Amino acid sequence: MSLSRAFFAVIRRDLILALRRRSEIANPLLFFILVITLFPLGIGAQPHLLQAIAPGIIWVSALLAAMLSLDSLFRSDFDDGSLEQMILSPHPTSVLVLGKIIAHWLVTGLPLLIVAPLLAVFLGMPNHSLGILLLTLLLGTPVLSLIGAIGVALTVGLRRGGMILSLLVLPLYVPVLIFAGNAVQMADSGLPVDAQINILIAILLLALALAPLPVAAALKMSMCDNIS
């Protein structure tokens, strides 16, 4: 019985599960691509306007795509009792939960990173800011999964938690959106972005260290009223 074995087993299991239900991975990714491709059509032939708002469009779409995928994080485990078994395991729940969040990010966040450069070019973003866009997505999307997990853990016991989930989680997403969007815009105009990147790194490390604890506590709380 070792903690690291349990941790990697959780990640492995969730990745296998994701592979067997491909539509769940495809859904947020498709949403991300669709929203971004619709903008040029809606705005019309104004390449400069599009170029100016490209970072915002990409980041807002990434944020909404992340929200869309959140519910699947704990729902099926909650419904079939796997979550009960994880909580009853002698390992700290927070570590197992971190494994689940990492697997969730690999499945829903990483694909966004892969298609983002293509979409950025599509929106006419200058090449020199592509690197910064990718870096902000790399630092920012895991934070979306980590913070989102707290919201999901709190609402998973409710039958219709979707609305409350958005209200809980969106305000906490705002700092990431501000700093990430700002960094890409600054990079567009050739300014230094060290400050924003440093803050994003700080937010990521903080979320990585602190988020699993409230997630574990909230899951135990959600479990308490679930009689079936």
Residues within the interface to other proteins (CB under 8 A): 1, 5-6, 9-10, 13, 16-17, 20-21, 76, 79-82, 84-91, 96, 220, 223-224, 226-228
Buried b (16+ CB within 10 A) or exposed e, 103-115: bbbbbbbebbeee
140-163: b (≥16 Cβ within 10 Å) or e: bbbbbbbbbbbbbbbbbbeeebee
Q: In the bound complex, what is the minimum distance in angstroms from residue 10's beta carbon to other proteins?
A: 8
Q: Min. distance of Cβ 90 from other proteins in angstroms?
A: 4
| Closer residue to other proteins in complex, CB, 182/222 | 222
Q: How many CB atoms lie within 10 A of CB 15?
A: 15
39: CB partners within 8 A, 6+ apart: 50, 53, 57, 123
How many whole angstroms separate alpha carbon 137 and alpha carbon 105? 12
Of 21 and 128, CB closest to other proteins: 21
> What's the min distance (Å) between Cβ of 83 and other proteins?
8
Of 157, 206, 166, the residue nearest 70 (C-alpha): 166
Q: How far is the CB of 5 from other proteins (least distance, A)?
A: 6
In the complex, minimum distance from the CB of residue 160 to other proteins, in angstroms, rounded to a whole number: 20
Q: Which is nearer to other proteins, 116 or 219 (CB)?
A: 219
The nearest distance, CB 227 to other proteins, in angstroms, is: 6
Q: Smallest distance from the beta carbon of 85 to other proteins, in angstroms?
A: 4
- C-beta separation of 177 from 56 below 8 A: no
CA 54 to chain centre: 20
**Burial letters 171-182, b for 16+ CB under 10 A, else e:** ebbeebbebbbb
**What type of residue sits at position 220?**
K
Closer residue to other proteins (CB): 37 or 226? 226
Residue closer to other proteins by CB (options 27, 76) is 76
- Shorter beta-carbon distance to other proteins: residue 90 or 190: 90
Closer to other proteins by CB, 191 or 224: give it.
224
